[in-house]
Homo-oligomer: A and B are copies of this chain.
Amino acid sequence: MPDSKPDFSDLLKLLHDIYENQMPFNRLLGIQILSLDMQDICVRVDKKPEFIGNYVKDILHGGVISSVIDLTGGIIASVGVLKRMEGSPIEEIISQFTRMGTIDLRVDYLRAGRGNYFLTRGSVLRTGNKVAVIRTEFRNDENLLIAAGTGTYLVG
């Protein structure tokens, strides 16, 4: 059955759909995955009035920042899992996804979250068949580094 062993680009589309459309809190945040391939992973979140923390200064709530850093790291860790499981049946891949999770996350809030939209990109610090460590940067629409975070993810 050809569908049971999807190729890698199909798996990336599946991952894109899960993170952007199927995870309810990600929908609430309105995240858009601008690119998702082996070369580049980039997530966008727009400033909406309900995402403000400090209403005097009109800046993003730290919780929005940490949420998007966490999920961006999760996407990057997931791509690593997909690569490792390439050729496995789709059921096994989905089963593996449901067991993944963030073990811990540190976020450094570096500048006030001013901007109309924000972009996150990350890099793999450590990878293996049990845990992955991903560092993610959260920048505003002027490319200023607003926050940076490092997450440890269970991937096996």
Chain A residues with a Cβ under 8 A of chain B? 22-29, 49-57, 61-64, 66-68, 70-71, 98, 101-112, 125-126, 130-131, 133, 135, 145, 148, 150, 152, 154, 156
Contact = CB atoms under 8 A, between A and B. Distances in A.
Contact of A103 (B98, B112, B131): B131
Nearest to A100: B54
A149 B12 CA distance: 31
A150 B55 contact: no
A23 B61 contact: yes
Nearest to A128: B154
Given A62-B102, A150-B108, A52 B70 contact: no
B67 A98 contact: no
Given A101-B112, A130-B131, A148-B150, 15 more contacts: A23-B61, A26-B53, A28-B28, A56-B98, A61-B67, A62-B102, A62-B105, A63-B68, A63-B71, A101-B109, A104-B152, A105-B107, A106-B107, A110-B133, A130-B154
